[in-house]
Amino acid sequence: MLIYLKKNLLAVACIAMVFTACKKNSSDEPTTPPVNNNKGIQLATDAKFGSVLTDKDGKTLYFFSSDAAGTPTCTGGCEAIWPLYYSADASTDLNLNKAEVGEVTRADGRKQSTYRGYPLYYYASDAVKGDIKGDGVGGIWFVAKPDYSLMLANAQLVGSNTKSYTSAYVEGTGLTKYFTDAFGRTLYAFAPDKNGVNTYTKGTAQEGIWPVYTSEVLNVPSAIAKTDLGVITVATVNKKQLTYKGWPLYYFASDTKRGDNKGITVGGIGTLWPYVATTTTVAPVQ
């Protein structure tokens, strides 16, 4: 009986040793990294910039101010620094407005993904996921975000008279930096307005020609001071209107497509309805 008991105890000990060894070997095996099922454009949260657009692997995407009209203008040597981004896959990010994602065909036939009509790019110096080294480069490259109240265009001014103008409103060619909405539509100030006071919109008739720009103060490209933005109420049309340095902001109805800036020659060349930019002075107090 004693011999039988010893044999049973020995068997139990052996089984326990085998189980322990198996458990140890199992825990020593490397874990399989999770599969990345992301597709298309994604949203990521950055401590400094908040919500930003990335590719499926988390690499940051950018807007180019010179693309305000929706046509890619970064070509040749520019592409070596700012490679284009394209994905044929629909975004799997549930927080992204899929209706604002699109694509454009470049002059050489290649496709490029867009967001709110802006072609999207990488920055070559962003080495790892989460890098945002390209924001603010040259004052015309900005991290792509889904919540800009304003965008900064860098484009040729062409008045309603079809003549080209410089930033000083002199006939000629050259790129000018000015504000648009998030979809590339030019914004204007009305010269007689006062700080925080819309003196133009008397009713729907004026609203049909120079609509007020209705937006909350959300976010702006890093070249623009967010503290310079405000919101007023235009009682005559019961709308909120965004202001910059106190100037109420307007659209021009005859700007029928993004990139148009025909309003600069209405009522005089840059005197009555000037474009708005970071160089715009503070509106006078009433």
What was the pLDDT predicted at 28? 56
What was the pLDDT predicted at 35? 64
Strand partners, 212: 250
Write down the residue that tokens 């919540």 correspond to: 147
What was the pLDDT predicted at 17? 46
Tokens of residue 143, six digits: 């991290």
Beta strands in the chain, from DSSP E residues, in sequence order: 42-46, 50-54, 62-64, 101-105, 111-115, 118-119, 141-143, 151-158, 164-165, 175-180, 229-234, 239-244, 247-248
Within the chain, residue ranges assigned H as helices are 2-28, 78-81, 204-207
What was the pLDDT predicted at 34? 63
Write down the residue that tokens 């000990």 correspond to: 13
Name the stretches of the chain with pLDDT < 50: 1-26
What was the pLDDT predicted at 78? 98
Q: Is this structure's pTM higher than 0.85?
A: yes
Return the exposure string of 208-238: e unless at least 16 CB atoms fall within 10 Å of the residue's CB, then b.
eebbbbebeebbbbbbbeeebbbebebeebe
What was the pLDDT predicted at 15? 45
Residue 200 CB contacts under 8 Å (≥ 6 apart), including other chains:
190, 192, 193, 206, 210, 248, 250
What was the pLDDT predicted at 29? 57
Tokens of residue 269, six digits: 């060349």
Residue 138 CB contacts under 8 Å (≥ 6 apart), including other chains:
none
